[in-house]
Amino acid sequence: MDPRDLLESSRRWMGMALSALSRPEDADIAVHHAAVACEHLLKSYLAGLHPVLLAEGKDFTSLLHAVGYGDKAKGKDLTSFRSVALPEAYARVAQLIPTLTFDHNEVQVAANARNGVAHCGIHDPSRAREITTICIRLAEAILPHLTDDAHTYWYPHDAVRKRFIEAHATKLSDGLTRRIVHFRDAYRRGKLPEDIESYLGIGPSAESVRVPEEAGVIRVIPTVNLFMMVRDTSQKDLNRLDAQTCPACEESAVIGWRVGSSYGDDETPYEYRTALCCRCLLPLSVEEILFLGLGKAIGLPPYGN
């Protein structure tokens, strides 16, 4: 459970994953190994704080090993240690690193793909590049918190990494452009949903939007209330709420986080976030908000950091 060993293990697994991508018949190996690499990276961070953060909370044997009392555990061999799965490892790290903005749903997709290969030999070759891209992006998000030498981690596959990241950015930009054009046209034609609550698929008490109120303060407002509030808000007050120019409706608007909670397939609870323009209802993922440069007002790092 040495963080350095886990980091090195992750590097080797990721290297094998990227090598396997060149062989279509090894698409399952690429998916499996890339997800394992990400799991080891996350656990390297947790182990660097304390090994107990890796342990399944209800497994006393694992907890004893983690705190140095393995000799008193029923299973004295360290191989009996039960650690958390990939989604829970990410949930723990995300709570410890507030600026980590990777989408938990994508982590779950990678975990499901890895489990399908590991447990049943099931995989979808057509999604191998997509899932490997998720893992590469997740590794890039975690690495700065573990080492200053990312070059060594990716060597000798850095060119492959760059191609995947560039292809993902192009796909993200193209999809985002199409959605912006659609919402801009709908807004100008006045074709917004009359029932905002129905459009969002939520109730005012079920989820909230976080918007900046003053420096360092985040105000939580029920989603529907936010949209109703902005209709009667002066420009001066919009500025106080860190209003920005929406890329779709091109009006001064609050880009607020819609925050909710859900459970992964393994019953792991997690918080998810999407963003919405309070005027044209343009929906944006966390990554898209960063890509557009709209995340600074609520303390998120620039895209790619």
The Cα–Cα gap between 188 and 161 comes to 41
User: Residue 67 — very low, low, confident or very high, per pLDDT cuts 50/70/90?
Assistant: confident
Q: Which of 143-152, 178-187, 218-227 has the lowest mean pLDDT?
A: 218-227
Mean pLDDT of 19-40: 94
Mean pLDDT of 144-151: 94
Give me the CATH topology for the region 3-156. Four Helix Bundle (Hemerythrin (Met), subunit A) (1.20.120)
Q: Which of 27-36, 80-89, 135-144, 264-273 has the lowest mean pLDDT?
A: 264-273
User: Above 90 in pLDDT, residue 143?
Assistant: yes
User: Above 70 in pLDDT, residue 228?
Assistant: no
Q: What does pLDDT average to over the chain?
A: 77
Mean pLDDT of 281-305: 68
The pTM of the whole model exceeds 0.85: no
The Cα–Cα gap between 164 and 170 comes to 10
For residue 303, the tally of other CB atoms under 10 A from its CB is 17
Contacts of 103 by beta carbon, 8 Å cutoff, 6+ apart: 272, 285, 286, 287
Q: What is the pLDDT of residue 283?
A: 80
Q: What is the pLDDT of residue 237?
A: 54
User: Above 80 in pLDDT, residue 201?
Assistant: no
Residue with more model confidence, 235 or 164: 164
Residue with more model confidence, 294 or 103: 103
Domain boundaries, the chain: 3-156, 192-298
Mean pLDDT of 83-96: 90
Q: Which of 112-116, 178-182, 234-238 has the lowest mean pLDDT?
A: 234-238
Which strands make up the sheet holding 283-285, listed edge to edge? 217-222, 208-214, 255-263, 269-277, 283-285
Residue with more model confidence, 91 or 239: 91
User: Residue 234 — very low, low, confident or very high, per pLDDT cuts 50/70/90?
Assistant: low
Q: Which of 106-115, 163-172, 232-241, 290-299 has the lowest mean pLDDT?
A: 232-241
Element (H, E) at 208: strand 208-214
User: Above 50 in pLDDT, residue 198?
Assistant: yes
Q: What is the pLDDT of residue 218?
A: 38
Q: What is the pLDDT of residue 69?
A: 67
DSSP state, 181? H
Conformational region of residue 203, where left means phi above 0, alpha means psi within -120 to 50, and beta covers everything else: beta
Q: How far is CA 288 from CA 187, 273, 274, 302, in A?
A: 20, 12, 9, 11
pLDDT, one tens digit per residue, over 36-47 is 999 999 999 999
Q: What is the pLDDT of residue 42?
A: 97
Buried b / exposed e across 37-57, counting CB within 10 Å, b at 16+? Answer: bbbbbbbbbbbbeebbbbbbe
pLDDT, one tens digit per residue, over 248-292 is 888 876 665 555 555 444 454 445 556 777 778 788 877 887 788
Mean pLDDT of 102-106: 84
Specify whether the CB–CB gap between 80 and 86 falls below 8 A: no
The Cα–Cα gap between 112 and 114 comes to 5
The Cα–Cα gap between 224 and 201 comes to 11
Radius of gyration (Cα) for the chain, nearest Å? 22
> Which ranges constitute the DSSP H helices of the chain?
3-20, 27-49, 60-66, 86-96, 104-120, 128-142, 150-154, 158-188, 196-200, 223-231, 235-240, 286-291
The Cα–Cα gap between 18 and 132 comes to 8
User: Residue 66 — very low, low, confident or very high, per pLDDT cuts 50/70/90?
Assistant: confident
The Cα–Cα gap between 215 and 146 comes to 30
Conformational region of residue 293, where left means phi above 0, alpha means psi within -120 to 50, and beta covers everything else: left
Residue 228: half-sphere exposure toward Cβ, Cα within 13 Å: 9
